[in-house]
Structure 1
Amino acid sequence: MSAKLGEILVRENLLSAQQLRDALDYQREHGGRLGFNLVKLGLVSDDMITAVLSRQYGVPSVNLELFDIDDSVIRLIPHEVAQKYSVLPLSRVGATLTLAMVDPTNVFAMDDIKFMTG
């Protein structure tokens, strides 16, 4: 089983064990995802979380500002679905649709989108 986000941040000296405990206490009280709460509390940056999660899940991170996305690709996924799953279609080559996803572990999103787009 892969290590949890907090454990990785502590192991890589990006966060102290005490900061992790504080963030977990905050999470228990206020809810939300740990990565979001760590950024909200000012303990780490968005870029740090993105880099760690990218390595953890073996998926590349992308800078959306560098993409010129064709309108026909954007229309492949209805706005409501893209919003629901926090996804953005980036390109389509043949039968392969490349997505930017906030949560690349969301199998339900991938299954729904695969069903919708063929």
Structure 2
Amino acid sequence: MSAKLGEILVRENLISPQHLRQALDYQREHGGRLGYNLVKLGLVSDDTITAILSRQYGIPSVNLELFDIDDSVLRLIPQEVAQKYSVLPLSRVGATLTLAMVDPT
């Protein structure tokens, strides 16, 4: 089983144990995901969270600004479904559809 996000950040000295406790306390009080709360509290950058999650789940991160997505690909997933699951179709090659997702967890 892979380590938890907070444990990885502390182990790699990206945040202190005190910052992790602060973010976990905030999470208990306000809800939300730990990574989002760490960024919101200014304890770590969004890019850092993205890189850790990408490595943890073995899923590459992408910069959507670099993609020119064809309208026919966008229509493959209904807008309501894409919003509900926070996914975006990026490309289609044969029967393979590549998606971007906000959070791979």
Q: So what's the TM-score if we normalise by structure 2? A: 0.97
Partner Cα distance (2:102, 2:56) in 1: 14
Alignment of 1:1-118 (within 5 A): 1-104=1-104
Partner Cα distance (1:43, 1:103) in 2: 19
- After the TM superposition, list the runs of 4 or more consecutive aligned residues in structure 1 that deviate by more than 4 angstroms: none
Per-residue deviation, residues 12-53 of structure 1 (Å, max 9, x unmatched): 110000000111011001110000000000000110000000
- Helix, strand or coil for the counterpart of 1:54? helix
Structure 2 alignment gaps of length 5 or more: none
Partner Cα distance (1:103, 1:31) in 2: 16
Equivalenced residue count is 104
- Helix, strand or coil for the counterpart of 2:99? strand
Structure 1 alignment gaps of length 5 or more: 105-118
Per the TM alignment, residue 103 of structure 1 is displaced from its structure 2 partner at its CA by: 2.4
- Helix, strand or coil for the counterpart of 2:54? helix
Per the TM alignment, residue 102 of structure 1 is displaced from its structure 2 partner at its CA by: 1.3
Partner Cα distance (2:22, 2:78) in 1: 39
Identity %: 90
Per-residue deviation, residues 49-98 of structure 1 (Å, max 9, x unmatched): 00000000001000000000000000000111000000000000000000
- Helix, strand or coil for the counterpart of 2:27? helix
- Helix, strand or coil for the counterpart of 2:59? coil
